[in-house]
Structures are given as C-alpha cells and as structure tokens.
Structure 1
C-alpha cells in the first residue's frame, strides 16, 4: 500500500471518529510513524487530505452496497437495505465530523454533499423509479420531492439537535426515518 493510500486510510478513520477540526496532521503523522513533512509531500493541505478521505469513504460505501443492487430484492427493499448500510456508516460519525467540514473545510463539505447527493439522486432514484414502474409506489408520488425531504441530508437530521444515535438504536431510526416514509408511498391495498 502506498504512503498516500495509508495516509488516506488512517486520516479517514480519525476524521470520522474525532472530526476533521480535532484531528491534527501531527496526530496522523505520529500514528503512521512519519513526519508531517511526508504528509505534505503527498497532500498540499489538510483539506486535500480530508477531501481524499471523503472520496475513499464513499468508495468503500459503494463497494459495500454493490451486492444490494445486484440482489433479487424488490426495488423498495433494495433502498431499505442500502439505508441500513448508510446508517451503519453514519452511526460511526461523530457529529463534529459533518459540522467541522461545514464550518472549517467548505471545499471538503462541498465534496461530501456532492457525493452523498449523487447517491440519493442517482443510485437511489433509479431504484425508486423502478419501484414506481413496478407498482410498489403510487403513480402520483413526486419522487424527487420525496428524496429531497426524506433521503437527502439525512446525517444533518440525525445530528442537528442531538446525536440521535445516542438516544435511539439505529434500527429504530431506520424504521422511523426511512422505512415508514417509504411505506407511505405504497399504493392503498
């Protein structure tokens, strides 16, 4: 594994758990047994390292959900299964991870938002449209509006007031935030 890949891997884990602002380049260098100068030989700035860490996190997520897309599940059940994985990922985040990006590293935050929006408005939307075509979702549902209201920006709703993961099990949060909302789209029996 190259120095760059090792740096991204270690930094990603630190940023997620401790937040981007509270993780220093000195800490990352110490963990890897290298100098900070070596880090800056691979990355021009801390924000560049954060951006690459976000991209790596998204790539790992896509690898984890790829089998779901290829499964025999119904489209709606695929969406639920994908959100189960999303909740596994987001449950590892400290709220300061997202807030630190937003406040201190706007380019990294923009990367994070763009990548997560691509997942919702491309990958998830394909499944929702397929579910609509197959009659799993009522024909009159505006899927774009539904996605904007309930699926996009999920982590901000989970962390805004308090860290909801501290108060509720992720299975309960998934049920209330995703499953119940998806069930409301189904045709009346």
Structure 2
C-alpha cells in the first residue's frame, strides 16, 4: 500500500504541482482514508520525498534498460529522449520548480542523484561514441558531460522556455540535436542526420 500511495501521489504531483495537491486529494483519488496515508507517511514532506524517489528509480531503471539494448551511442540518446517524453507526456509545466520552492532539501537531494546518474550515463555514452568513431576524439569528456546536464536542466525552466513557444517534445528534440552536432564526427553526422530526417518525416 505504501508504494501504491507514493506512485499515485507522484502522478498527481507531476500533473498538478507539489503545492496544490493535498493529502485529502490523494486519499480521495485512491478511495482510501487520510488516516491510511498517515499510517505510512507521517507528513506530506515524507510523502513528497518517497514520491520523488519512486519516479527517479522508475526513470533510471528505464534508462539503464535502453543503455543495455542499444550499441549505437546516437541511437541510445534518441531512445532515452523518447522514453523521457513518455514519462512526462502529461507534464503541463516543470514540477521541479515547485519542488525547489516548497521542498528545497528534497530538490537538492534529487538534483545530486540526477547529476551522478546522468554524469555516469553521459561519460559512458561519449566514450563509446569516441571508440566507435561517431564522436570527436578531442572532446573534454568531463566538460561536455556537465554542460549537457546543465542544458537538460536549463530547458526545464518555463520562464526561459515557456510552453506556448517551446512544446516539451520539440524542445528536447532541438536540444539533443544541438548537443550532438557539437560532438559528432563526419561519420557520426551521417547517423545524426538520418535520425533528424526520420523524425521530420514522421
């Protein structure tokens, strides 16, 4: 039951925001009493933390599965982007800013975990790309990895990238292409352009 509550809360927080969803809302949506929620979580902050961790682990498991499946590093990034969009398909705005405002400690914990995971994934992706000759061999891997992380987080800022101008799927597509064009070799560019053409033909 604890896991079900955390998953339902996570869905509602992503849809409606961390501030506006109350314990009463979650209880009503699940058809249970608020007392049942408090039997598993002593307060809303504890539930927010558990919900955030639930989403984080779900996404990282999905990304790890993709990384095991795809040998081409460019294809791997496109598949991760596609997966990330399915996870956030109903996201009207970025919940991370409400999380940062109302639950700063949880936000900092999550950001640290995200950086560690993404840094590991990006470094391995770049090293694989260099080995396969699709990424330039003169890249500063640590620099590129950190800039990529900053960019992925930066485009979630709705004040800089308002949804009416930058729909989420288009924004992620643009940013991924921007990132890859800066690091691919001539050989890698052929693969990248194939993915760009395929996307535009869809």
Structure 2: state its 5+ residue gaps.
Answer: 188-202
Aligned to 2:13: 15
Q: What secondary structure, in the 3-state scheme, does the structure 2 residue paired with 1:63 have? A: helix
The answer on 1:49 being equivalent to 2:47 is yes
Name 1:176's counterpart in structure 2: 174
The answer as to whether partners of 1:47 and 1:107 remain within 8 angstroms in 2 is no
Instruction: Report the counterpart of residue 93 of structure 1 in structure 2.
Output: 91
Query: Take 2:7 and 2:44, find their aligned partners in 1: how far apart are those partners?
Result: 14
1:142 corresponds to which residue?
Answer: 140
**Contact 2:49–2:106 (8 Å) recurs in 1:** yes
Gaps of 5+ in 1: none
Count of aligned residue pairs for this structure pair: 187
CA gap 1:99/1:130 in 2 versus in 1, 3 angstroms: same
Moved over 6 A (4+): none
Report the 3-state secondary structure (helix = DSSP H, G, I; strand = E; otherwise coil) of the residue aligned with 1:41.
Answer: helix
Give the structure, 1 or 2, with the largest relative contact order (CA under 8 Å, sep 6 or more). Answer: 1
Question: Does structure 1 conserve the Cα–Cα contact (< 8 Å) formed by 2:94 and 2:158?
Answer: no
Match of 1:115 among 102, 113, 117: 113
For normalisation by structure 2, the TM-score amounts to: 0.80
